[in-house]
Amino acid sequence: MSQVVLDRAQAGELDAADPLAGYRERFLLDEPGLIYLNGNSLGALPLATLRRMDRMLRQEWGTALARSWDHWVDLPARAGDLVGELTGAAPGQVLVTDNTTVNLYKLACAALDARPGRRVIVTDADNFPSDRYVVEGIAAQRGLELRMLPTDIDEGVDPELVRAAVDEDTALVSLSHVAYRSGALADMAGITAIVHQAGALMLWDLCHSVGAVPVDLDGCDVDLAVGCTYKYVNAGPGAPAFLYVSARLREVLRQPIWGWFSQADQFEMGPRYHPAAGITKFMTGTPSILGTAAVEEGARLLLEAGLGPLRAKSVLLTSYLVELADAWLVPLGCAIATPRDASRRGGHVSFRHPRAERIVEELAAGGVITDYRTPERFRFGLSPLTTRFTDVWDATQAARDLIEREG
C-alpha cells in the first residue's frame, strides 16, 4: 500500500472529486464530529422528508383531515412505482405496504399455493432471522419440508448449493440478495434461473440491496421480492416495506391476508371478499400514510442522484475501506469478513475480531457509529449519499488506535 493512500489528504481529495458530495447537505446531520457508518441499519433523515412531514401534518392531516384520503388512497402504489425504478421493475409491480416480515409471509404463502403438490421450501442458514423464522413457521403449519442451505457467512450463497438443493418437489426458494452480516452479493440472475429450471418460484429479500446495489428484478426474471425502506432508502424507523410481484404472476397469485384495502370495491362493505385487480390485491389494512410519504421522498432522492453514480461511489467507498483495513486493521488481528471482489459485495464491509462488540461500543463513545453482529463481527455501513471518504479514513484510524491501545 502506498503512503499516499494512508494519508488523510487523499481522502479529502476523493471527497473534493466526489460528484455526489453535495447530497450530504440535504440530510439532517448536524451533530458536530459525528461519523455515522450505520446507514445499512437506519438511514439518515432527508431534509425533504422533514419538509414533507411538516406539510402533511399541518395541512393534509391538520387542515384537510379525512378529505386528504382522496389523494392518500393510492399513495402505496405511487410510492411503489418509485421503488420499482430503484429495483428494475416496470410500473404496477411494486407496492409499499406493511413490513418486510408480513410481506414475506404473504408472498411465500401465495407462492406455495401456486405450486400445489410440491412440499419443499429452500432457504439458507445465514438468511436474515425473520426470513428464516417466517418460512420455518409456514413449513410447520403446512407440514412441509424446509431445506436449509449451509452458507459461508463471509462469502454468501453458493449457486451450486442451490442447484443441489432444488428438485421437482421444490415449491419456493427464499434468499437475501445481500447478506446482512458480510454484505456478500448473491448472483440474482443465476440463482433465479436455477430455481426456475426446477419449476419452483424465487423470492428475494432486497433489504440490504435497494439503494445500495444495482437490482434488475424484471431483467433477472424474478418472481417475487420484498424489502425494507429504512436503510439506504432513508425512509425512517419503522417505515413501511415493499413487495414486488412479477406482472406474469400478479393476476395468478392470491395473497393470504384478506383486508379491506385489497378488496375490489373497498367501500361497498360487502359480505364477501373479492380481491382487487393488479398489485393492489397485495394490500392488507389501512396503510401508514406518513411512512409511505417518507418512502417517496427517499426514493426520489436516490433516483435524482442516479443508480449508476450511487453504485460507483459505493464501490469506491468500500474498496477504499478494504485498502485501509489491509494496512491498519488486518495486521492487528482483524479479518475482512466481506468478499474482496467489489462486484460481489453490497454497501457494507464487515470485520471479524474477538472483541468486536466492545470495539463497536467504544467507537460509539468516541462519536463513530457502526454496529455489531454475531459472531464477533463489526460492520461499517457506507451510504453513498451521506458517507465521505474522510469519514472512512477517520473511522478506520479510530478502530486501529482502539485495537492498538487495548490489544
Indicate which residues carry an active-site annotation: 128, 205, 230-231, 379
- Beta strands, E only, 291-402: 335-336, 348-352, 368-369, 371-373, 377-381
**How many CB atoms are closer than 10 A to CB 290?**
18
Mention every residue, 6+ apart, whose C-beta is less than 8 A from residue 307. 86, 214
- Tell me which residue has cell 408472498: 107
- Please, is 54 exposed, middle or buried when counting C-beta atoms within 10 Å of its C-beta (0-12, 13-18, 19+)? exposed
- Please, is 308 exposed, middle or buried when counting C-beta atoms within 10 Å of its C-beta (0-12, 13-18, 19+)? exposed
- SS3 of 140, please? helix
Q: Which of 387, 371, 392 is nearest to 321 (CA)?
A: 392
Mention every residue, 6+ apart, whose C-beta is less than 8 A from residue 380. 37, 321, 348, 349, 350, 351, 370, 392, 395, 396
Cis peptide bond upstream of 375, omega within 30: yes
